[in-house]
Each structure stands twice: as structure tokens, then as C-alpha cells.
């Protein structure tokens, strides 16, 4: 089973960088690492993804460890609008498991709830 | 220009009723999903369709029946609603597979009284 862990919650101050960690020690070699976030009362939205190399986009940066067993989502300057729950996929802390006939079961974990202080 | 849309946004109904939630995506994606987010905030996949074909069917009561008239639409019909069905239901789509980036709709908050 693939297992990932994320801190339940983190706090940041506005305009400061935020580093959100995720451990995915049993990730498969071909699995992309996706990050999503869910703002209050909204659906999850895509933030960034990567396979092996670090990635940057207009929302965030993704730093992937060389052994791919962990990754860090970096928000360079947190704003109040960044307060959300951040999910690292493969999900954690609940396992992503393979069912019969290549049928993957997917339950997202609880993610990291990021609070941003003004 | 909404990529993934769902209707209705809110649904309040009595136990035992039958209701439907509709979902449409204009991204040209092949695969669509229904997720349920319960009060504890776990997001669980219920169904997935690829090109109108059911490919993921999690352990969901058979009172829940998805229908995909074409690859841009995936509707969810729920018979004999129960209190435990109260949750937020999200539709999502991805280009081809579960491991591709998923795009979510705004959610439908279902309350069963």
C-alpha cells in the first residue's frame, strides 16, 4: 500500500513563504505527485504536479526529493486567499490501494489545513 | 467559462425521496468522476466513467446510479435517500486516467431531512 503523511495543520503569516511537507515513502515509480487545495465551501482545485524534477508555476513551486519519498509545496508569499486545505496526492494518511482488476481505490486524506494570519 | 459545472448547488429533501445531480465538463476530457465528501471532510471516490463506460465503482449502495449520456456529462441519481447520504458531492474530470490532473466542480450540498 502506498502511504502518505501530511501535518494536520500549519500556520503562516501573510507575505511570508510557506513550506507544506508531504511524505510518500512508498510511491510508485510512475506516479505523479499532485497537489490540490480546497478553499472553504469550494471544490478542490489543482495547484501543481511533478514526477522527479522540481516544478514552478504561477501558483506555487514543488520541490521533490531525489528519492521521491517526499515533496514540499512552496507558496512563496502567502496571502489570506491561500488559507485552505492542501492535499498531497498520492493521498495520506489513508492508503491508496489497488483493488481487484487494476481498480484503484482512492480516498483522499485530510490534508494540511493552512491558516494565514494577517 | 466554467470547466466543470454541477447543478443544483444545494439540495434539501426528505428521506425516501429520489433526486438527481447533473454534471457537465467542457474540457474535452475522457474521464469523469463522482466524489462524496462527508462531514469529517474525507473525499471518497464513488464512480468513474471513461468515454461513457463505467471503470470505477466503489462500494456504494446500489441506490446510487450514475449515468453518462456522453463523455461530457455524468449524472448521479439517488433513490430512497437516507440521512447518511447528506454530504457534499463533487463531480470531477480528467484527461484520461485517475492519475491525470483532475478538475472539480463547485459541489452539490445534499441535505436529507
Distance of alpha carbon A77 from alpha carbon A93, whole angstroms: 27
Residue B5 pLDDT class (50, 70, 90 cuts): very high
Alpha-carbon distance of A92 to A51, in angstroms, equals: 18
| pLDDT tops 80 at residue A4 | no
Pick from B23-27, B35-39, B56-60, B89-93: least confident: B56-60
Predicted pLDDT at B25:
97
What is the overall mean pLDDT for chain A?
Answer: 83
**Chain A residue numbers touching B50 (CB-CB < 8 A):** none
* 3 state SS of B87: strand
Alpha-carbon distance values, B24 to A44, A118, B20, B65 (Å): 16, 38, 13, 16
Residue for grid cell 454530504: B87
User: Is the pLDDT at A93 greater than 50, yes or no?
Assistant: no
pLDDT at A97 over 70: no
Chain B residue with the nearest C-alpha to that of A110: B42
Lowest mean pLDDT: which of A96-105, B33-42, B79-88? A96-105
pLDDT value of residue B61? 87
For residue B110, is pLDDT > 50? yes
Span A19-46, pLDDT tens digits: 999 998 877 777 788 899 999 989 999 9
Residue B28: what are its φ and ψ, rounded to 5°? 75, 20
Quote the cell numbers at residue B17.
425521496
Report chain B residues whose CB lies below 8 A from the CB of A87. Answer: 43
Based on its alpha-carbon atoms, the radius of gyration of chain B, rounded to whole angstroms, reads 13
How many Å apart are CA A96 and CA A104, to the nearest integer? 7
Instruction: Between A96 and A13, name the one with better pLDDT.
Output: A13
Q: How much is the pLDDT for B1?
A: 64
Angle (nearest 5°) at CA B15 between B14 and B18: 85
User: What is the reported pLDDT for B99?
Assistant: 75
Q: Is A12 exposed, middle or buried (0-12, 13-18, 19+ CB in 10 A)?
A: buried
Query: Residue A95: its pLDDT value, please?
Result: 32
**Can you tell me which residue has the cell 486567499?**
A81
Cβ-count burial B43-64 (b if 16+ within 10 Å, e if not): bbbbbbbbeeeebbebebeeeb
pLDDT recorded at residue A100: 34
CA distance A69 to chain B (A): 18
Q: Give percent of chain B with pLDDT exceeding 70.
A: 99
Closest CB from A32, A85, A106 relative to B45 = A106
Which pLDDT band, with edges at 50, 70 and 90, does A96 fall under?
Answer: very low
Look at residue A54 and tell me whether its pLDDT is greater than 80: yes
Chosen for mutation from B32, B43, B58 (greatest number of chain A CBs closer than 10 Å) is B43
Specify the pLDDT at position A108: 78
- The answer to whether B69 and B53 have CB atoms below 8 angstroms apart is no
Amino acid at each position: 500500500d502506498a502511504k502518505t503523511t501530511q501535518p494536520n495543520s500549519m500556520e503562516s503569516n501573510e507575505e511570508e513563504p510557506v513550506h507544506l511537507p508531504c511524505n510518500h515513502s512508498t510511491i510508485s515509480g510512475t506516479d505523479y505527485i499532485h497537489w490540490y487545495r480546497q478553499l472553504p465551501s469550494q471544490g478542490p482545485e489543482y495547484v501543481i504536479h511533478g514526477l522527479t524534477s522540481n516544478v514552478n508555476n504561477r501558483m506555487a513551486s514543488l520541490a521533490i526529493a531525489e528519492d521521491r519519498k517526499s515533496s514540499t509545496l512552496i507558496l512563496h508569499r502567502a496571502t489570506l486567499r491561500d488559507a485552505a486545505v492542501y492535499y498531497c496526492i498520492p493521498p495520506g494518511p489513508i492508503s491508496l490501494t489497488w483493488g481487484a482488476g487494476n481498480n484503484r481505490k482512492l480516498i483522499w486524506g485530510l490534508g494540511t489545513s493552512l491558516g494565514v494570519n494577517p | 467559462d466554467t470547466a466543470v459545472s454541477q447543478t443544483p448547488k444545494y439540495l434539501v429533501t426528505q428521506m425516501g425521496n429520489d433526486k438527481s445531480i447533473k454534471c457537465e465538463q467542457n474540457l474535452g476530457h475522457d474521464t469523469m468522476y463522482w466524489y462524496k465528501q462527508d462531514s469529517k471532510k474525507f473525499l471518497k471516490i464513488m464512480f468513474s466513467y471513461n468515454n461513457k463506460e463505467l471503470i470505477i465503482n466503489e462500494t456504494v449502495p446500489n441506490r446510487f446510479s450514475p449515468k453518462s449520456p456522453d463523455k461530457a456529462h455524468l449524472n448521479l441519481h439517488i433513490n430512497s435517500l437516507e440521512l447518511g447520504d447528506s454530504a457534499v458531492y463533487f463531480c470531477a474530470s480528467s484527461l484520461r486516467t485517475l492519475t491525470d490532473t483532475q478538475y472539480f466542480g463547485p459541489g452539490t450540498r445534499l441535505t436529507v431531512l
